[in-house]
Amino acid sequence: MASEALLSVRDLRIAFDGVEAVRGLSFDVRPREALAIVGESGAGKSLTARALLGMLPRGATTSGTISPDLSAHRGRRISLVPQDALSALSPVHPVGDQLAAAVRSVAGVSRKEARARAVAALDRVGIPDAARRARAYPHEYSGGMRQRAVIAMATINEPDIVVADEPTTALDEERRDQVLRLLAEQRAAVDAALVLVTHDMDVVQGHADRVLVMYAGRLTELGPADEVLARPRAPYTAGLLASLPQHAPPGRRLPALRGTPPVPGALPPGCAFAPRCPLAAEACHTAEPEPRQAAGRLVACHRWEELPHPATELFLKERQPV
């Protein structure tokens, strides 16, 4: 068997004005998997996703490789479900026309056939009376229906990869789960892999096969989602999980990380997490750890073997973490 990767990213670097926001990231996307990329502001997760799509903001310089480069096939082999459904749809064309245009942009099908596929796609995502709704404009859709239409648009050409960039950030819990379920169902129906970018560890549970945790533009931990959630090996992942209120031990105080995520261009020396890390030792302040195989996954930490499990106590110690 050749490589089991659908897409390989190697030593990806993305910089603005010489300041690197993504700093040497390598990972694969496997066929039909759901890969969650989790990180906070400044982690570089959205930039990474945008790089896969060839949709980086102006002024970005990149190095490293993404192979195959699917950006020339955007809308066909790779597609985007953005955070803001409204921005993905043109306000001046009926929704059905936009879906039909997407079909016609890649396949040599007749106008009539494209229309029929558009209506079928809207029907598949559960838009009632799809034939009639296809003629309506985005502003005539409810927020939930727009989200569905965008998912229909992202899957209509049966892509290899669907990239969803914080698709549920603006939603409350019930709507969030509905959207994630629909996304999972639709991309599975067309055998597409899903790259799910999120800041929310909670979203990983039940919605991803593997998880890539990023911090300050680098890989912190990459492995099977259930194993990483059950037993994180990187202190950052452990702290993030321990600080979720749903995992909190009884009592008023939550385990918490001190400090805030660093800003690109103002990184501490050595491990970028060191100023916040309860396990940090001297070596951590001088050498940045490289991702290494550890416990069936990749972990970038000098001291991962020292991390206790559960790590809750480590993050409960300080009274006033800032």
Alpha-carbon distance of 303 to 219, in angstroms, equals: 15
The answer to whether 42 touches 261, Cβ cutoff 8 Å, is: yes
Residue 283: CB minimum distance to ligand SF4, A: 7
By a kind-dependent CB cut-off of 5 to 8 A, residue 174 interacts, out of other proteins, ligand SF4, none, with other proteins
Contact flag: residue 39 with ligand SF4 (CB under 6 A): no
Phi, psi of 63 (to 5 degrees): -145, 170
Neighbours of 172 (CB within 10 A): 8
Among 55, 120, 254, 280, binds other proteins (CB under 8 A): 254
Counting residues that bind ligand SF4 (by CB under 6 A) gives 12
Among 235, 239, 255, 264, binds ligand SF4 (CB under 6 A): 235
> Nearer to other proteins by C-beta: 1 or 266?
266
Residue 303: name its binding partner from other proteins, ligand SF4, none (Cβ under 5 to 8 Å by kind): ligand SF4
Measured CA to CA, the distance from residue 200 to residue 40 in angstroms comes to 8
Residue 318 dihedral angles phi and psi, to the nearest 5°: -80, 140
For the four alpha carbons of 58, 95, 197 and 124, in that order, the dihedral sign comes to negative
For residue 27, the cross-strand partners are 9
Could you say whether residue 175 binds other proteins (CB under 8 A)?
A: yes
60 by DSSP, 3-state: which?
strand
284 binds, among other proteins, ligand SF4, none (CB under 5 to 8 A by kind): ligand SF4
**Position 314 contacts ligand SF4 (CB under 6 A):** no
Is residue 44 within 8 A of residue 14, CB to CB? The reply is yes
The CA distance from 31 to 141, in Å, is 33
Q: Which stretch binds other proteins (CB under 8 A): 4-12, 22-30, 67-75, 240-248?
A: 240-248
Q: Least separation, in Å, of the C-beta of 89 and ligand SF4?
A: 42
| Chain centroid to CA 280 | 28
Q: Which residues pair with 293 in a beta bridge?
A: 298
Rounded Cα distance, 90 and 150, in Å: 11
Considering only 9, 229, 271, 316, the residue that binds ligand SF4 (CB under 6 A) is: 271
Site membership for ligand SF4, residue 218 (CB under 6 A): no
Q: Does 266 bind other proteins (CB under 8 A)?
A: no
CA distance 216 to 22: 7
261 makes contact, choosing from other proteins, ligand SF4, none, with CB < 5 to 8 Å by partner type, with: other proteins
Among 59-67, 70-78, 96-104, 255-263, which window interacts with other proteins (CB under 8 A)? 255-263
Q: What region does 27 belong to: left with phi over 0, alpha with psi -120 to 50, or beta?
A: beta
By CB under 8 A, name the binding residues for other proteins.
Answer: 40-41, 172-175, 199-202, 236, 239-240, 243-246, 248, 252-258, 260-261, 263, 276, 319-322
By CB under 6 A, name the binding residues for ligand SF4.
Answer: 235, 271, 273-274, 277, 279-280, 284, 289, 301-303
